[in-house]
Chains A and B, each alone.
Chain A
Amino acid sequence: MSQFPNFAFEINQNEFLAAGVREVHAVVTLTAAPTAGGSSAAVPAYGSPAGGASGKDNVEVIIVDCSGSMDYPRTKMMAAKEATKVAIDTLSDGAYFAVVAGTEGARVVYPTGGHLLPAGYQTRAQAKDAVSRLAANGGTAMGRWLAQANRIFDAHPNAIKHAILLTDGKDESETPADLARAIQASIGNFTADCRGIGEDWEVDELRKIAEALLGTVGIIREPARLAEDFREMTANSMGKEIADVALRLWAPKGAVVRYVKQVSPTLADLSGMRVPGDNPLTGDYPTGAWGAETREYHICVEVEPGNIGQEKLAGRVQLVAKDSGGATLLGEDKIRAVWTEDEDLSTRINGRVAHYTGQAEMARAIQEGLDAQKAGDLDTATSRLGRAMDLAVESGHEDTVKMLRKVTEVDPATSKVRAKAKVDKGDVMELDVVSTKTVRAKRN
């Protein structure tokens, strides 16, 4: 058994409920401390068997869109090649890696021998050489790209598995159902960060992939910035210490788990990813790989209300590391419900729960506002984007405030924010992308 990072486990909630209240909310804050020896991913692992029991093998798959449009303008393909080479140089020595050229198919351009090779002087040079020869020619079928990645990762069941997916267009060479199936097959197997370059791709499409695969979405408006982004994503992936961590939630008989959402650093609804546990009251929600980082989750459980004075365990939350050897408990805490007639207690608002409820509402308001703006319904757009602006200002979310300003203007008559009739497409996409990034709650 490998040593796992130490996790700080904290639950914030107001457990006191007025008579008859069924919904119990809690925010779980998890912080993984760096393990001793920190970024020991740099230790060479030449010749060690793939997927060794250490759980510290990294496998990186870089998927580069090679559809025909990547050459229009040519700077996109050039930036993609450059960024992929930077990513290869950023890999830890010994990390296994592959480069996939994505079109209507998915061709592994490196390595060509059928099994992965650890990053070293020679393999990096060979891979970069293969990247140099990439050519833009073909369609876009991201579902097949994911399926190819899945096949590559299958040979490394216990490794820390991460993909970078870059595209410049819509998923037009397959059906949405094809993509959905491929996403479903990848959940829990690997994590993926997705980047869109240019303005001809769909934010929603990439977000679906990234949310399901517990990664981020980013928009690259200037090709020159792509390399730095690839370097960061790769370094972040190499810094992961533990491969497969899940939130295990027990809820009492008769309860309904309304949702389990990651709320920091980004919003991602994990509710649909529940894997039933040994016990019918228990289920696992995958959280992917962890390095030294903090993440927060908002859990809402609906329970049968108890009598005044009754206390009920509304949830038991555990963090478990899973590998072929089973599950290791990394931490746990309780979500409690106590029914009281003391209004001083039941009306207390937990700062953290309120903060993330607000951040989720902000994301929803932005997405609804942008949809309305696109459809020409400026009244709805004004109301939703105005609400988003209030929430962004209130929570100190400066990035979002800045981007909301680009799609709104101040009405001189009312001095209130209103949706612009004409907006730049890139500005809209950028705001859409940033809408699911949250700011951390202050200590309460």
Chain B
Amino acid sequence: MTVEVAAGAVPASGGGAELEAERMPLQLACPNCGATDLVMDAESRFCEACGYALAEPVTGEEEPAAEAAGPRACVSCGGTEIDDEGYCIDCGDLQPRRRDRMEVDLTVVAGISDRGRRHHRNEDSMALRPAVTPEGGTVVVAVVCDGVSTSERPDEASAAAVAAAARLLLAGVQSGGVAAAELTAQAVRTADEAVAALARDSDHGNPPACTYVSALVGAGSGVTVGWLGDSRAYWLDAAGGARQLTQDDAEEGSHAIEAWLGADSGAPEPHVASFTPPGPGVVLVCSDGLWNYVEQAADLAALALPQAAADPMGAAVRLVRTALDAGGHDNITAVLVPYPVAAPAEPAARGESQP
């Protein structure tokens, strides 16, 4: 696969330095056969040379393997017939949807995305999965996007963004040979294009838009984050080193973001930063539905740790419940990656969704 990418002299651990990037082709090689004409788009995700299936990110929106598909009763009126779009054919109420609460526990990384208590749908999306480098190291990929609620179809925007970005990040990690910062910058651009492609004439000047934050957390390579908007990544540890790794594209205290993904984004330069953890801890990638209630890294660390190290899912449950109990005014998404990264129990490229 050949793509335009930002390539620059990026320090391996830039300590928050942003990329000054110039565009150069990014070459990804098949991790299995080494072919460099890797085909990777929305339709085909296989190496054309050897048929090797690239890792697919897990978003929590996947269809359950075998769920009893019997008739459901309407949660509002008890009616027994729900139409194909999820509306009760008696009272018209939309039934709870899969995206209202998505939970993914892959042990080495876990995440929850919740509709919250006040919004009518979940416009956040997440994608996560560990991948194995050609050298055998494990790198965890975590992406969170938050749909801009004043744009059209923000839920579709965030879903398209996380899928496109995570797919590229996973392929890049598996393929190897591309620096994490370079790969991250390219993932933001790929996500921007994916969201821009959703725009229609009927959007009345408000094409789908969303924020972006991703983290690559490697066993040996540290943490690389990329972002646009006000979704955040934090480093949380118990040793007093907890800190926010991203810097919002918004005025202090304002929710009016100044950079986003979408057809009207103006293709902004992604922010990319690298961080070398001083010791064990956890990387938190989240939307503002969480940090609106608990903003300080130390407070988040106090909630998540020590549980997050061994049970990131349990810690994610706790973080999300805290935001819900405080009012849940926005959609809440939290993805936790314990550090140091553990080798996945299952083959990383085959991770399955957990109910």
Chain A: residues with CB nearer than 8 A to chain B? 251-255, 281, 303-304, 306, 308-314, 334, 338-342, 344-345, 444
Q: How far is the CA of A253 from the CA of B78 in the complex (A)?
A: 12
> How many whole Å from A164's CB to the nearest CB in chain B?
39
Are A313 and B92 closer than 8 Å at their CB atoms? yes
Q: Is B149 an interface residue (CB 8 A)?
A: yes
Residue of B nearest to A315 (CB): B92
Instruction: Tell me the dominant secondary structure on chain B's binding face.
Output: loop
Instruction: Chain A residues near B41: list those with CB within 8 A.
Output: none
Residues of A close to B94: CB separation below 8 A: 310-313
Cross-chain contact of B93 among A311, A340, A341, A342 (Cβ < 8 A): A311
Bound form: Cα–Cα A338–B116 in Å: 15
Contacting A at CB under 8 A, from B98-117, are: 115-117
Contact A253:B90 (CB < 8 A) given known A342-B149, A345-B149, A444-B204: yes
Of all chain A residues, the one with the shortest Cβ separation from B116 is A309
Q: By the criterion CB–CB under 8 Å, are B92 and A308 in contact?
A: no
Q: How far is A345 from B119 in the complex, measured between Cα atoms in Å?
A: 12
A309 B115 Cβ-Cβ under 8 A: yes
B200 sits at the interface (CB 8 A): no
| Most chain B C-beta atoms within 10 Å of own C-beta, residue among A253, A303, A339 | A253
What residues of B have a CB within 8 angstroms of the CB of A313 in the complex?
A: 87-88, 92-94
Asked if B92 and A314 sit within 8 Å, CB to CB, the answer is: yes
Interface size on B, residues (CB 8 A): 20
Which chain B residues border A344 with CB–CB below 8 Å? 150
Instruction: Please report B residues at the A interface, Cβ cutoff 8 Å.
Output: 76-77, 85, 87-88, 90-94, 115-121, 149-150, 204
Q: Do the beta carbons of B118 and A312 come within 8 Å of each other? A: no
Chain A residue at minimal CB-CB distance from B77: A253
Closest partner residue, chain B, to A335 (CB atom): B92
Question: Contact: A309 with B120, CB < 8 Å?
Answer: yes
Chain A's closest residue to B119 (CB) is A309
Cα-based distance from A334 to B94 in the complex (angstroms): 12
The complex places the Cα of A253 from the Cα of B93 at a distance, in Å, of 10
* C-alpha spacing A334/B89, complex, angstroms: 13
Distance (whole angstroms) from the CB of A357 to the closest CB of chain B: 19
Q: Which residue on chain A has the smallest CB distance to residue B202? A: A10
The 8 A-B pairs of least Cβ separation, nearest first, read: A252-B92, A313-B92, A311-B94, A313-B87, A312-B92, A338-B120, A309-B120, A253-B90
Q: Report the nearest B residue to A301, measured CB to CB.
A: B92
CA distance A310 to B117 in the complex (A): 10
Supply 18 A–B pairs (Cβ within 8 Å), ascending by A: A252-B91, A253-B77, A253-B90, A306-B93, A309-B117, A309-B118, A309-B119, A310-B94, A310-B120, A311-B93, A312-B91, A313-B92, A313-B94, A338-B120, A340-B118, A341-B118, A342-B149, A344-B150
Considering only CB atoms, which chain A residue lies closest to B97 in the complex?
A311
Q: How near does chain B come to A16, taking the closest CB pair, in angstroms?
A: 9
CA distance A205 to B201 in the complex (A): 44
Give complex CA distance A251, B94 in Å.
14
Chain A residue contacts of B76, Cβ below 8 A = 306
Distance in angstroms between the alpha carbons of A251 and B120 in the assembled complex:
20
Contacts of A314 in B (CB 8 A): 92
